[in-house]
Structure 1
Amino acid sequence: MNKQVNIEQILPLVRKPGRYIGGELNVVDKTWEEEQVHFCLIFPDLYEIGMSHQGLQILYHILNQRSDALAHRCFTPDVDMEAALKARRQPLFSLEQRRPLADYDILGITLPYELCFTNILTVLDLAFIPIHAKDRNEQHPIILGGGAAAFNPEPVADFFDAIVLGDGEEIVEELTEQFLQFKQQGQSREEILKQLSTLTGVYVPSFFQPQYNGSRITSVEPLLPEYTSVMRRVLPEMQSPALVSKPLVPIVKPIHDRLGIEIARGCTRGCRFCQAGMTYRPVRERSVDDIMELAEAGITNSGFDELALLSLSTGDYSCLDTLMTKLMDRFADEYVSVSMPSMRVGTLTPVVMDQIKRVRKTGFTVAPEAGTDRLREVINKGIFEKDLMDTCQDAFALGWNLIKFYFMIGLPTETDEDVEAIVELARKAKLEAGQGRGGKVKINVSIGTFVPKPHTPFQWEPQISREQSRAKINRLKQILPRKGFALKWHEPEQSYLEGVFSRGDRRLADLILTAWQKGARLDGWSEHFNLNQWQVAADECGIEMDTYLRERTLDEILPWDHLHSGVDRQFLEQELADAKKQLYTEDCRNGGCQQCGICDFETIKPRVNEKKEASLPPAPLNREKIVKPERTAFVYRVSYSRMGDSRFYGHLEILQLIFRALHRAGLPVLFSQGYNPSPKVSFSQALPVGIESRAEYFYVELGKPLSSLAQTITNLDAQLPATITVTDITLEKKVRQASYCAMYKVTLDEFSENEIQQQVIAFNALDQLVIERIRKKKRRQLDLRPLVASMEAQGHDLFVELLHYHGQAGTNPREVLEHGLNLSPEQALLVRIQKVEIREIETPA
C-alpha cells in the first residue's frame, strides 16, 4: 500500500498552498481499509473553480453515504505545484488523505467545458497513469468521465475508459455495485468495460471506431454487435434534500463562495443555441418545502452568508415569488442574502427584487443574448425590447445602480445592425429605464462569441473566425459610450479553440497531447492561454483547426451521432428550419408538448410544482432601507493558535473561516449598517502564509454578553479545523489597535549551530539594515534593524523579537532571515517559523 504523499517541503514554495491541504468543513474521511470501492472525484481545473461545482459535491455525498465505498477529491494543480511535484517525483494526490491517485479503483473526471482538456493530461501524467486508455492494465484505475462536455467527448475519448452521459446520481450507485462484483470476481479490464457498456448512459469509447474521409466522418463502427449507440441517463425527479444537507465549505475562496441550492433541473424554453437547455430536459422542480429544508440545513451546517438558487432558468421556477418571500422571512435577520444566476428577462419580478434587497442588493445579470427583436426570434429567446426595459426600470426603481447584460456575437443570420443594436439597447436601458436617476445608473455589457454546440438546432451552423469576432468587439468598443457603461468580452482566441473542440472528433486527441507537451496548461485562464502553442501543435499534427468551425450539412455524420441526448434529431432539424423563418417554439410548460422526444410521460416527464403552491400570498414587502436599531456592543477578545496545515491559509481565508465559525456557533454577532452589512470582527495583523502561531487574536462585537466563556470556547472550537484552537476569551472595554512585540521561534535544522551563532553575532553588530521595497510601482527604503528588538540562538533554534508599530511599516521573520542572515528566498520559505507570544507596547511618537 502506498504511503501518504509528503508535500511538507513543497507547500511553502507554491502560491495558495491552501488549495492542496483539504480539511474543509463537512469533508468525509473514511477509513481506507474498511471500504471496498475507492473513488477519487477529479475536477480538471483549479480548486477555486472545482469547489464551485455542484455536481461534484452531489456525487461526493452520494458515494460517502454508502457503507461500502468512499470518495475523495482532487483538482488540477497550478503550474507551480505541477513543477514542484515533478521536480521531486511526487505523485498527484487526493485532498482527504494525500494518497496517490493511482491507489484508487476509479478516477471520476468531470468534463465541464472544452478548455480544460489539457488539464486532464496534467492530472494523469502527475498520477503516473498512462494517458491513453489503450496503454493501461489491470493495475491502473478505471478512468471515468462525465459532465456537460461529455455529450461530445470525442476529442478526449482516447484518454477515457468510460464516460457517463447525463445525470449521475443513479448511475454512480450502479457503478459502485458493479465494481464490488468486479473486485470479488477478479475480472479483467476488458471484461469490466464490457459490463459497464450494459449500463444505460455509459459510453465506452474503445468499442466504437470512427472512419474518416478528409474532414468528414464516413462512419462510426460499433465493435460490439449489441452496443451500437448510447442513450443519455435521465434522473426522473430531484433527489432528497438530506443528500446535500452538509455542503463542503471551502477555505480557499472559490469563484462562487456561497451555498448553492439546485431548485430545478432542465429548461424547456428552447433557446436554439443552448446545449444545456436540450441535454438536461425535462424540467424537474423541487418543492418549496424541500428547498426550505435544504436552505435551513445548508446554512446551519456551513455558515455561508449567501445562498444561490441554481437552475438553468431560475426565474421560471413556478413558485419563485413565494419561495423568495419565505427565504427572506427566515434568513434576513441572520444577514443571509439570496442571489440568482443570470436571469431571463421578464422573470425578474418586482416581488423577487424587493425580497433580494432585504439583506443586500446582490448583483444580477440579464441575458438578452441579441441586440434586436429579429435576432432574438431567430434564437427563440422569446423576449422583446419592452420586456428588457420593464425589467431594468423595476430594478432601478428599487435601488439598483448596476445591471449586467450578456450578449453573444456571431449568432446565425447576425448582421452589422444586430451588433450595433447591442449598444443602442444598453443606451435605452440607461436613459429610459433609469430615467430620473441621472449618473448613478451603470450598465455593464458582457460579450461572448457564439460557439455552435452538439445536440442543439445550431449544431450545423458555422462559427465566425476569431478575426471576425475581434472586429465586432472593436466596433462595440468604438460606439459604446464610456460614461456609465463598461464593456467586457471573452477573448476570441479562447472561443476559437472552444469551437474547435466543441464539434471536434477523435483526431484532435493528438492535437491535445502535442499542445500539452509544448506547455499548454489551464487554457480557460487568460493568463495561461497561448493560442500559438496550439497552432504550432496543429501544424505538427497536420490538423487544420479552421475546418472544425465550418458549416455542417444535414446529411453528414457528426462525431457524436452515436451518442443520444434523448432529444430527437428531427426536432433539432425542424428547430433549425424554424429559426431561419423566425418562428417561435413555445415552452412546453405553457404551450403543450412540442414533441422533442425526451419524455415517455410515465417515468420521464416534466415535474412542475402545482399552481396552488405557487399561488401562496407573499408576505408584506418593506421597500424601505433596512436599518437595525443601535444595540449595546459587548466586545470580546478571542485568542487562538494556528498550527500545522492551518499555517497555509491566507489572511482573507482566515477571516472568512472565522466569520462562518461564529455563525455556526450561534454567537449574536453585530453587523455594520447599510445595504451590505458585514460582521463586526477586527483581526490582529495578518500572519504571513506558512508561519504558525500560538498568539493570534480577533475582537468580536456581540449583541449580548456571553453566559459562559468556557462553554463558548468549547462551542467555537467545535466549529474550527483541528489545527486552529481557541485558547482564551476575555471581555474588553473596546476594540484596541495596539502596537506590539512578537517573539518568533525559527528552526534552522539545515544549518550547523556554529553557522547560526556566527550569523546572529554579525546581525546584532549591525547599526542598520536598509532594504528597498517596491509598493504600487514606487520604491521605498526601510531600515529593518530598529524593528528587530532581539535575536538569540539556542542550538538549531533562533528566537527573534520583532516590533510591530500600529500604522507604521513593519517586517516579518522571513524578510529578516533573507536580509539579515543571508538565507535565500527558498530557504526562508522552507524553515519552520512559529510566533510564540506577543506583548503590547507603546507606539513611538
Structure 2
Amino acid sequence: MNLSIFQKPSRYINHEINIIHKEAPVKVALVFPDIYEIGMSHLGLRILYKIINDIPYAAAERVFAPWNDFRNYLKANSLPLSSLESKRPLKDFDIIGFSLQYELSYTTVLDILNLGNIPFKTEERLSLNYPLVIAGGPCTVNPLPLSPFIDAFLIGDGEEAILEITNTYNRWKKEGDGRKESLLKKLSEIEGIYIPLFQNENLLSNNNPVSFFVKRRFVKSLDSAPYPDNPIVPYTAIVHDRVNIEVSRGCSMGCRFCQAGMIYRPVRERSPRQVLKLAENSLKNTGYEEVSFTSLSAGDYSCLIEVLREFNKRYSGKNIALSLPSLRIAAVNREILHEIRTVKKTGFTIAPEAGTDRLRRVINKDFSEEEYEKSLSLLFEEGWLNLKLYFMIGLPTETDEDIDGISRMAYKALKIARKNSRRPVNINIGISPFIPKPHTPFQWHGQEQIEEIIRKKRLIENALSKKSFNIKSHNVHMSFLEAAFSRGDEKMSKLIEKAWLLGCRLDGWTENFDFQKWQNAMESTGIDAGYYASKKYSLDNNLPWDFIDTGISKNFLIKEYNRALYEKITPDCKKHCHNCGLGCHIKNIENKDSSIISESTGVAFSRAHVFNPVKIRVEFSKTGVLKYLSHLELIFVIHRAIRRAGIKLDYSKGFNPKPEISFGPPLGVGISGLSEYFDMKVFPPFDLYDNKDKLNLCLPEGININQMSPVPLDSQSLNSFISCYEYRISGGDILSMKDFLDKKEIVTKREKYVINLRAMVESAIIGEDNYVTLILKDLNEGKVRIGEILPIIFNTPFEKLSITRTGLYGWDNKWIKPSNISHVPLFECKV
C-alpha cells in the first residue's frame, strides 16, 4: 500500500519506538474511537497496553479510527480495519475494548465495528465467530445510549479489573462450554461490570426504583498500580507529545459542573519518589524533551513544589522542560512559576469558568477577583507570554451580568499583561456551553436552548476585540448532542445508529460534523435529542443512570444542588469531610511522605566548564516504511534518538532553547533516501564510532547512521552547500522522458520567476528494469522541486513513481558529497 496518498501516513506505520509485538492466546484490541493523534495522547490506553502485554497469556494491540481518506480506501477496496501492531483484522481478536472518553465518538464506535465486519448488536454477535466487545472510560457512568452495541461495560478504573476480565476470558476459552452467554454470565460476577443483555430489562423508569446497582471500581493506591515508564513514542505529532506522569487521581475541590471531579473520587496521590522515578525512566526510554505532571488539579498535589524542585535539581542543564495542566487560581504562586520556567515557559492555562463572584459561588469555584488579579500579575511578571482562559456559558442561574463578567475578566487580564510584561502577550479565550452531566449536582438541570447559548456567545464575541484576543468557541450543536447523549437512555441508540447510516462519524471534528444529518436522523427516528439535553428533572425523579453507583450518594448531590441555588461554597474536602458517600479518611488524601531522597542521575552537563562545541556531520539513510515520515517527523525521531543515546547536544541561547541540529534538503513523504545528512553541535570528547553505534541502537528500523565526521564549525550549512541531487526512479514513462530530454527548454512559472525545467536535468541514465538514474541541479532562479519536475519528465502522476534519493552533492571546484569537505580533528577544540 502506498501510504503517501493519505494525509499523515505516519499514523499507519506500525513500528514506533517501544512498540510491543507479541503473540499470545488471548488477543485484545484496544480501540480508541478517534484518530491516532487523539488516541495516543490518552493515558488510559497506554496503561492498559502495558498491563495486558505484561500478562503472559495475553497480547494487546492498538486500533484507531482512520481519517476519512484512509477509511474511504478501505471501503473502496473491501479491506477490513486492522490493528497497528500485527495488521490483524479487528474481527480476528478475542476481545475488543473501546475507550469512551467523549459522547460524540459514539457513531465512530459503530463505524469501527462496521469497518471490522462486526455486527453492531450484542444479539447478533452471540456466535463464537465474533469478539467480545467491551467498553470503559468516563462515558460509561451512563452506558445506556450505547448499551445495545456493547457486550460488557467496565465502570471505573481499569487497572485491576482488566486483569480479572482477561483471566475470565482465558479460562472460558480453555475450559468453558463455548457459549458467549456463559462468558457474559462469568463477567457479570466481576465488580464494576455491567452486562446490558442480562440487565437492561430490569432497569428503571421514572416510576420504578432501581432493581440493581453496578458499583464503580477504583484503585486504592496509585503507587501499587501499574504505570508505563517505557511508553510508545509516536512518529506523528500527537496532542500531548511529551512524558505525562499522573501525580494524583481524583479531585477534592467539588466543582458542581465537573463530572470527573465527582466520578474519580477519592483523591489518591502518587508518592514523590515514584513520580520522579517514573519521570526518570520515561525520559530515558523515550528521549522526550518535556515532562508534564498531570492530574485533575495538579496545583493541589500536596508534594508539588518538592517534586518540582527535585526534578529541576536532577535535570539542571539538560534542557528538559516542565509543564502543568490547567491550574486553579489559588494554586498559582511564585514558587511554582519559578520552577516551571527553569528551561522554557510552556503555555499557561487558567479556568475561571464564570465571569462573576456570584456565579462562581454557584458552581463552587472559590476565588475572588482580587486573587485572579494577583495570580495574573505573578504570571506576567515571571515572563509568561501565552495565557489561555476558559469559561463556560449557560450555567445554572446565569444572567447577562455574568456573561458581561467574562469580557471584563478578559480585559482585566489584558491590562495586567500590559502593565507587567515587557513583551506582547497572547491571550486566548475559550468559550464552551455548559453540559449537565450525570452524577454531578447539576444532573437535574437541563441544558439551555441552543438559541440562548448562541445569543450569549455572540454577546461575548462582540464585547471582545479580535485584535487583542484569540477567541475559540466550542460548537454549540456539538455541545447540544453531547448533553443529549450524556443524559440519554437506551432509546438514543436508535438515533446513533440512524445518524451513522446517514454518514455521521468522527463527529468531534468540525470537518466532519454535520448537524443537518443529525436533524434528519431525529426526524427519521422520532427521537428528539433536545428532550434529553434540556429536560429538567425534579429531585425525587429516578434518573436513567441511577443504577450506576459511583460511590457518591444521591443525597450529597442533592445537598450540593441546593447549596448552589443558595450560592453557598462547599470548601475543599481535604479540610473538612462533607459526607459524599465514599467514606474516605481525610488523613489518607494527602501524601504525608513528602521527603525525597536526592538520587543523582549523573553530573549535570554544563557548558561553562567544558570544551567549546564541535560540528559533526552525519550521513544516514531513510528507507522502508519510514520513507512515509515527513521532514518534521524525521527531525523529532532523530532528535529523540540522540537523547536516548545520551549524546550531549549544544543548545541555542534565549527564552526557548533549541538543539543545535540542522538537516539537509527535505525528503518528500514517500521518498527513500540512501545518503541524507544532518549537522549537530556536540561537546568533546566525542567518539565518532562509539556514538554512531549508540545512535543506531536507538533508531527505529528504517533509519540508519552510515557515518559521522567532524567539519569546521563555520562551514556552510547543508542547505546552502547542497545544490545537486541524484535520484533512482521507476514507474515512469521512459518515452516521455526521452521526449523531455530532446527539448532544449521546458518552462514553468513560479511565484517570481519563469524557470527552465530542462536546464535542471544534468543527466538521465536508463538502467536495468527501466530504472532511471536522474541527476538534477538547482538554478539561480530556483531550487529543484521534484513534485513539480518528475510528473512532467515522466508524464506520470507523482504518487505512481517509486523514488529513492541516492546522493546529495555540493560544489567545491567539483561536485562532492557533503561528508567529503575538509575535516577537523576533534582534539583541536579550544577550551
* Smaller-chain TM-score bracket: over 0.9
Q: Call closer, same or farther: CA 1:685–1:439 in 2, change over 3 Å.
A: closer
What does 1:472-511 correspond to in 2, within 5 Å?
472-511=456-495
Kindly report which structure 2 residues correspond to 1:581-600, keeping only aligned pairs within 5 A, or say none: 581-591=566-576, 593-599=577-583
Cα offsets for 1:230-267 (capped at 9, x unmatched): 11001111044874121211111001110000000000
The amino acid of 2:549's aligned partner reads H
Q: Quote the Cα distance in structure 2 between the aligned partners of 1:46 and 1:278.
A: 28
Conserved in 2, the CA contact under 8 Å of 1:380 and 1:579?
A: yes
Aligned counterpart for 1:554 among listed residues 524, 530, 539: 539
| Number of equivalent positions | 801
Aligned counterparts, 1:347-366, within 5 A: 347-366=331-350
Q: State the secondary structure of the residue aligned to 2:286.
A: coil
Q: Which runs of 5+ in 1 are unaligned?
A: 1-7, 223-227, 618-625
CA contact (8 A) 2:134 2:153 kept: yes
Residue 21 of structure 1: which of 7, 13, 16 is its match? 13
* Secondary structure of the corresponding residue to residue 588 of structure 1: coil
Say which SS state the counterpart of residue 186 (structure 2) adopts. helix
* 2:300 paired residue number: 316
> What is the CA deviation profile of residues 705-751 of structure 1, one whole-angstrom value per residue up to 9, with x for unaligned ones?
412x2211110011110111111111111353313322212222xx8
Of the three residues 150, 161, 164, the one matched with 2:140 is: 150
| Cα deviation 1:260-314 (Å, max 9, x = unaligned) | 0000000011000000000000000011111110111111111111011110000
**Separation in structure 2 between the aligned mates of residue 36 and residue 89 of structure 1, nearest angstrom:** 28
1:303 aligns with 2:295: no
One-letter code of the match for 2:653?
Q
The residue number in structure 2 matching 1:386 is 370
Q: 1:672 deviation in Å?
A: 0.6
1:621-700 maps to which residues of 2 (within 5 A)?
Answer: 632-700=612-680
Paired amino acid for 1:112: Q
Q: Per-residue deviation at 1:587?
A: 1.6
Q: Deviations over 1:610-663 (max 9, x none)?
A: 17649x99xxxxxxxx99799622101111111111011111100111110111
**Partners in 2 of 1:556 and 1:650 — Cα distance?**
56
Structure 1 residues 243, 492: CA separation in 2 closer, same or farther (over 3 Å shift)? Answer: closer
CA distance in 2 between counterparts of 1:334 and 1:219 reads 63
Aligned positions of 1:463-478 closer than 5 A:
463-478=447-462
Paired residue for 1:834? 804
1:745 touches 1:797 (CA, 8 Å); kept in 2?
A: no
Q: What residue number does 1:610 align with?
A: 592
The separation in 1 between residues aligned to 2:622 and 2:334, in whole angstroms, is 47
> What SS is found at the alignment partner of 1:583?
coil
CA distance in 1, matches of 2:240, 2:304: 22
Describe the shift of the 1:221–1:770 C-alpha distance in structure 2 as closer, same or farther (beyond 3 A).
Answer: farther
Farther-moved stretch of structure 1 (521-530 vs 165-174): 521-530
Q: Is the 8 A contact 1:155 1:507 kept in 2?
A: yes
Whole-Å separation in 1 of the counterparts to 2:630 and 2:583: 49
Tell me by how many angstroms 1:103 deviates: 1.4
Contact 1:211 1:220 in 2 (8 A): no
Measured in 2, the distance between the counterparts of 1:502 and 1:688 equals 44
User: Out of 344, 356, 359, which is 2:328 matched to?
Assistant: 344
Paired residues for 1:490-569 under 5 Å: 490-550=474-534, 551-569=536-554
Given that 2:81 and 2:89 are in contact with CA atoms closer than 8 Å, whether structure 1 keeps it comes out as yes
Q: Structure 1: which amino acid aligns with 2:760? A: L
Among 75, 96, 108, the alignment partner of 2:85 is: 96
Q: Deviations over 1:363-421 (max 9, x none)?
A: 11111110101000000111111111111011111112332211100000000000001
- Write the distance in 1 (CA, Å) between the matches of 2:764 and 2:711: 32
Relative to structure 1, the CA distance from residue 735 to residue 716 in structure 2 (aligned partners, 3 Å threshold; closer, same or farther) is farther
- Which residue of 309, 319, 322 maps to 1:325? 309
1:139 matched to 2:158:
no
For the pair 1:78 / 2:67, whether they are aligned, the reply is yes
For the residue of structure 2 that corresponds to 1:95, the secondary structure is coil
- TM-score calculated relative to the size of structure 2: 0.92
Give the stretch that moved more between structures: 411-420 or 245-254.
245-254
Alignment of 1:167-316 (within 5 A): 167-186=157-176, 187-209=178-200, 228-240=212-224, 243-316=227-300
Paired amino acid for 1:414: E
> d(CA) in 2 for partners of 1:837 and 1:791?
14
Over the matched positions of the two proteins, sequence identity in percent amounts to: 37
Tell me if the contact between 1:144 and 1:161 (Cα under 8 Å) persists in the aligned partners: yes
Specify whether residues 558 and 221 from structure 1 end up closer, same or farther in structure 2 by C-alpha distance, changes over 3 A only.
Answer: closer
Alignment CA distance shift 1:398-1:129 (3 Å): same
Helix, strand or coil at the partner of 1:124: helix
Query: Which residue, 737, 744, 749 being the options, matches 2:727?
Result: 744
Q: Using the alignment, how far apart are the partners of 1:255 and 1:13 within structure 2?
A: 23
Counterpart in the other structure of 2:817 = none
Q: 2:771 aligns with which of 798, 801, 811?
A: 798
Q: 2:98 aligns with which of 109, 112, 123?
A: 109
Distance 2:697 2:676 in 1: 18
What SS does structure 2 have at the residue aligned with 1:63? helix
TM-score (norm 1): 0.91
Q: Residue type of the partner of 1:389?
A: E
Structure 2 vs 1, CA of residues 829 and 288 (structure 1 numbering), >3 Å: closer, same or farther? Answer: same
1:757 deviates by 3.6
Instruction: Report the Cα distance in structure 1 between the residues aligned to 2:752 and 2:506, rounded to whole angstroms.
Output: 33
**1:550-589 deviation line (CA, Å, top 9, x unaligned):** 2122233322111111111111111101100111112221
- Residues of 1 paired with 2:780 and 2:387: CA distance? 38
The superposition leaves residues 123-147 of structure 1 with CA deviations (integer Å, 9 ceiling, x where unpaired) of 1111111122221121111111001
Secondary structure, in 3 states, of the residue corresponding to 1:115?
A: helix
Give 1:732's aligned amino acid: V
Relative distance call for 1:206 and 1:782 in structure 2 (3 A) is: farther
- Cα distance change, pair 353–221 in 1 and its aligned pair in 2 (3 A): closer
The amino acid across from 2:185 in the alignment is K
Unaligned regions of 5+ residues in structure 2, if any?
A: 599-605, 815-831
Matching residue of 1:620: none
Cα distance, 1:348 vs. partner?
1.6
Change (3 A) 1:696 1:386: same
1:329 CA displacement:
1.4
**Cα-to-partner distance string for 1:189-222 (whole Å, 9 max, x where unaligned):** 1110111011001111112336999xx7555887
SS in 2 for 1:523: coil
Whether contact under 8 Å (2:728, 2:774) holds in the other structure is: no
Q: Which residue of 2 aligns with 1:60?
A: 49
Residue type of the alignment partner of 1:309: F
Deviates more, 1:394-403 or 1:633-642: 394-403
Aligned residue in 2 for 1:572: 557
Aligned to 1:420: 404
C-alpha contact 2:673 2:806 (8 A) present in aligned 1:
yes
The residue type equivalent to 1:122 in the other structure is D
Shift in CA distance, 659/422, structure 1 to aligned 2, threshold 3 Å: same
Q: Is the 8 A contact 2:26 2:57 kept in 1?
A: yes
> Displacement of 1:20 after TM fit?
0.8
Q: Distance in 1 between matches of 2:809 and 2:209?
A: 74
CA–CA distance in 1 between the matches of 2:548 and 2:716?
63
CA distance in 2: counterparts of 1:790 and 1:658, whole angstroms: 33
Aligned to 1:87: 76
